[in-house]
Chain A
């Protein structure tokens, strides 16, 4: 795991301390981290280790220091040493070759939702088809249980099994044999329950790399969701691919934004007016509690806008008059929509 920190760190052009990659992997909701993800194109890794405790992550960072792979230049900048460069080159290929979409599917926890739902769904369908109505379920949280329950309300075990079989067969066929087996070995049926990742690590492979491969399979499975996947899963895939409902045009903007384009670039790319893209951003901020509002309006400014909004009845022109030149209409709308949207956002 420390090697991954090092690998990501190498992409940050010597402008950050080792806490940069730590926050990216942990998925910290701060403008700095979100900017870094876009600036250094680290979407692949964003939020990937959200379940790993900060304690463990800092330990890994410390290991890099202890091994002499990085050294501090100042309190905010670390640099990679020669032995660090050598160490990084050893596992670079693994990290480069594994296909991941952290920003899209880990940042908001969709991969976990997807895996837990699929795991329980497959176990349930398999048992029911084998005529077994009672079994100890695999681990699933409330969301996954509810998903599975409502799926069985809409479709029979036969329909679900058939849809899943065809889809998974097609998807796994695209992968290496060892990837496909990694996935099927983790599934549970009446004849045999799933293995843990630790039990599936093939000899010679670092367990963490096995885990990355597994996440990669899941990301690709979510990505494949759509017309090709079983019909009964359509609603869920829509949720996992984008939790929030956006207009189709805003969704395109969102995809570019996720790919690291900024507002101006999106407008240029889509040949649309900047104000249209701004509208999309406002829409995104309203529907996505994780939208990085503070990239566009500093926390202090957000506070002022909200303050002004509460004393002026929320009319844009009034707010603008109170705030003056410090904020434009886009910033005001963005801040207000992020607060009025479902869930709001951490603006303080």
Chain B
């Protein structure tokens, strides 16, 4: 607010949006928010709009040409604009932004700029240049988790100007941590069934695959109101399940890691992991969804060799090997003059890494190859993926030692983020026994009988006492 650059590390929830919503209302000019999570961004916009903030819009690749044009046209009237990073690669959009006064430039999920972060987005590396082009507004960088190394990267790569650093501890004292090493799948599921009875509700069960999410929901559904959530469901179904979980009519939610971002539910009492997240950062984020109201909660990790293999496989296959690049990338490159996003058989993040790398090395300019790429170019690119894979493997090793070591779980997490540990009661399964934790008060739906009453309740909610 004093016009200083700021880096805020705010673990899980706790008004990240507020950090820029409030200033944006008080400042003259436009607040630009860059975020990599398109769906989350749209939710944020919807939510702000539903609070009466009409001058908020988002600009993403998912919009139609006409929709983008409309928003660009309205730009001078806007107060806040959410953008996905690749939108800032567009000269047209940058030109329009340059003509306006940008009072605040917010970089959400700022850890994405660092290759040491658990999610790395190559597009983020160009942000410093963009900020410069937009007459260097004040920058606010936000992230939920950042090790000191990532923090240093953010400062350097965003070219923050002696930033004010606000850091809240990753330690969530009200969450009891528990790690259980299982021998095999059967043992995991047998244990899960007991935990579903024993652990307090509302509960999230995080699974490694969609199929597991469905299975877990089916099991839980025998005794509780349960649902599952994963990216294979339609957006409509996902939203419906989200609403049910937030209001409390569903008390056990089995989900893949597609669930969680931007979900604001304070009274979650337990989080169970049936898979090993790829990093402690991610684990901390997912368990951190419990107990946001400050009441006692518990996180239980159930995993073993099969879960290790699954995650290892995912990490290995997420990025292409050099041989894949030679086979699939080189021939395409040698035929086309434009960077061929559509024809490559790789995930978008892989393509964008390649594009970014070639832009940096001068081989690619405005999406056009300046000369025909050669084997050596591809080889150098391959080394980047290899380095990235090594970093990911190292991050996963931390996760592995976390759940197999006999050291206090909380201490391990805090050491990873280079924070001081403090002894506490009800710490973790290494330090002591699981405390008794009560479920949150659960939702009781007054199940109306019959559609006629339901219609009255929907359209005349003020008359509800008349329904018998």
Contact = CB atoms under 8 A, between A and B. Distances in A.
A301 interface: no
B243 A177 contact: no
B462 interface: yes
Contacts of A142: 63, 67
A177 B453 CA distance: 13
Given A137-B46, A164-B459, A191-B457, A183 B451 contact: yes
B237 A198 contact: yes
Contacts of B457: 189, 191
A193 interface: yes
B35 interface: no
A139 B236 contact: yes
Interface string A166-190: 0011001000010011011101111
Contact of A130 (B227, B234, B451, B462): B462
Interface residues on B, range: 35 or more
A178 to B, nearest CB: 9
Nearest to A149: B49
Nearest to A141: B235
A150 interface: no
A185 B240 contact: no
B455 A161 contact: no
Contacts of A136: 47, 239, 242-243, 246
A185 B462 contact: no
A203 interface: no
A137 B235 CA distance: 12
19 contacts: A51-B234, A133-B50, A134-B47, A135-B50, A136-B242, A136-B243, A138-B243, A139-B238, A161-B460, A165-B459, A168-B455, A169-B455, A180-B451, A181-B451, A184-B455, A185-B451, A189-B461, A194-B240, A196-B237
B243 A165 contact: no
Given A129-B462, A169-B455, A193-B249, A181 B237 contact: no
Given A193-B249, A194-B240, A198-B237, A184 B458 contact: yes
Contact of B458 (A116, A126, A134, A135): A126
B240 A190 contact: no
B241 interface: yes
Nearest to B42: A142
Contacts of A162: 459
A316 B405 CA distance: 84
B47 A185 contact: no
Contacts of A116: 236
Given A136-B246, A168-B455, A129 B460 contact: yes
Contacts of B454: 181, 184-185, 187
Nearest to B234: A51
A196 to B, nearest CB: 5
A193 B240 contact: yes
The 3 closest A-B pairs by CB, nearest first: A193-B243, A130-B461, A139-B239
A57 interface: no
Contacts of A126: 458-459, 461
A227 B455 CA distance: 21
A256 B464 CA distance: 47
Interface in B222-257: 227, 234-244, 246-247, 249
B459 A172 contact: no
B244 A165 contact: no
A97 interface: no
A34 interface: no
Contacts of B238: 139
A81 to B, nearest CB: 32
Contacts of B458: 122, 126, 165, 184, 187, 189
A169 B452 contact: yes
Nearest to A136: B243
B445 interface: yes
A270 to B, nearest CB: 38
A236 B361 CA distance: 53
A96 B458 CA distance: 33
A7 B324 CA distance: 45
B317 interface: no
Interface string B34-51: 000000000000110011
Contacts of A190: 461
B90 interface: no
A192 B454 CA distance: 10
Interface in B193-249: 227, 234-244, 246-247, 249
Contacts of A145: 46
Contacts of A165: 455-456, 458-460
A182 to B, nearest CB: 9
B99 interface: no
Contacts of B460: 129, 161, 165
Contacts of A181: 450-451, 454
Given A134-B50, A193-B249, A196-B237, A177 B451 contact: yes
B464 A191 contact: yes
Contact of A196 (B241, B459, B461): B241
Nearest to A126: B458
Nearest to B63: A142
Interface in B1-34: none
B459 A129 contact: yes
Contacts of B240: 138-139, 188, 193-196
A75 interface: no
A151 to B, nearest CB: 15
